Amino acid sequence: MRTVKNARHLLGASLLVLAAWQALVSAGGFSEALFPSPLATLRGFYELIADGVLVRDIGASLGRFAVGYLSSILLAMVLGLVLGWYRGIWSYLNPIAQVLRPISPMAWLPFIVLFFGIGEMPALVIIFIAAFFPVLLATVAAVRGIEPVYLKVAQNFGIRQPAVLTKIVFPAVFPRIATGLHLALGTAWVFLVAGEMVGAQSGLGFLIIDARNNLRADLLMAAIITIGVLGLLLDSGITVVERAIGRRFGSRLA
């Protein structure tokens, strides 16, 4: 029932956008090479699919994204668990994290290129940075906000380290880290394209650069839509995972 309703909303929204888009094209009188019509974009899609370019670039982007995102959240979670547990260290690192967090990963680009060169690495590093801070901060906050009664129960029932970490701390913080993981996924996806614009030879960011350089606005638009749809799918996917975690690890106390 809910999916039917969601599908209806999605369809309605798509039609609305298409209509507005076509109206803009008809009324604006832009050159087709600068601003494509929906139909031209559809043809662009067809071309990209027929060439196998779209599949290749989606594969490349998702591959990079997986490596950058997964390595980032893994490190951020481990570090967050340790730093959240040992409050003394975090008191010193917290100001540093707070200063680094609001800096757009793109600002580091010249240094990233200096350290890692161009090509494959900049995209990975930028995704890594984009995902890192939301997860680190969520994990630290989750560990520090752990219900004190859980730790008392652990102490009372004779649960010692490292079992406290596996039996109590990790399951207790999981639902709250899940929110950080979700946030990080969205942020990292936004920066994927930017990262791939720096010398990558494949991926959706590369596709965008390539289409622009060849004055192929239709392909550019097709790439943009692809990025949006994939972002939506990734978001839906992690929402499902997040809900499952919430059900399984139950975040409420009473």
Partner 1 sequence: MSYITVRDVSRIYPKQGGTFTALNHVSLTVDRGEFLCLLGPSGCGKSTLLSILAGFDRPTSGSAQIDGKEITAPSLRCVTIFQNYGLLPWRTVEKNVELGLESLGKAPEERRETAHAYLKLVGLERFADHYPAELSGGMQQRVAIARALAVDPDVLFMDEPFAALDAITRMKLQDEISAICREQKKTIIFVTHDIDEAIVLADRIVIMTPNPGKIKAILPVDLHGRRDRTSPDFLHIRDRVFTAFALKPEDKTEYYI
The number of residues that bind partner 1 (CB under 8 A) is 20
Rounded CA gap, 109 and 194, in Å? 10
Distance in angstroms (rounded) separating the CA atoms of residues 131 and 71:
10
Binding mask 204-243 for partner 1 (x = CB under 8 A): ----------------------------------------
> Quick one: 27 or 253, whose CB is closer to partner 1?
253
Judge contact between 61 and 196, C-beta under 8 A: yes
Least distance from C-beta 252 to partner 1, angstroms?
Answer: 6
At residue 252, the 3 state secondary structure works out as: coil
The answer to whether the bond into 162 is cis (omega within 30° of 0) is yes
Question: Using the rule CB under 8 A, is 249 a contact of partner 1?
Answer: yes
Rounded to an integer, what distance in angstroms lies between the CA atom of residue 243 and that of residue 186?
Answer: 17
Site for partner 1 in 138-197 (CB under 8 A): 149-150, 152-153, 155-159, 168, 171-172, 174
What DSSP assignment string belongs to 75-144?
HHHHHHHHHHHSHHHHHHHHHHHHHHTTS-GGGGHHHHHHHH-SSHHHHHHHHHHHHHHHHHHHHHHHHH
State which residue, 23 or 149, has the beta carbon closest to partner 1: 149
Site for partner 1 in 77-106 (CB under 8 A): none
CB of 149 to partner 1, least distance (A): 4
**CB nearer to partner 1: pick between 29 and 158:** 158
Least distance in angstroms from the C-beta of 173 to partner 1: 11
Least distance from C-beta 90 to partner 1, angstroms? 23
171 contacts 249 by C-beta, under 8 angstroms: yes
Q: Which of 8, 9, 101, 248 binds partner 1 (CB under 8 A)?
A: 248
Cα dihedral sign for 220, 223, 229, 231?
Answer: negative
In the complex, minimum distance from the CB of residue 156 to partner 1, in angstroms, rounded to a whole number = 4
Comparison of 145 and 228: residue with beta carbon closer to partner 1? 145
* Cα gap 21→142, rounded to integer Å: 44
Binding region for partner 1 (CB under 8 A): 149-150, 152-153, 155-159, 168, 171-172, 174, 248-254
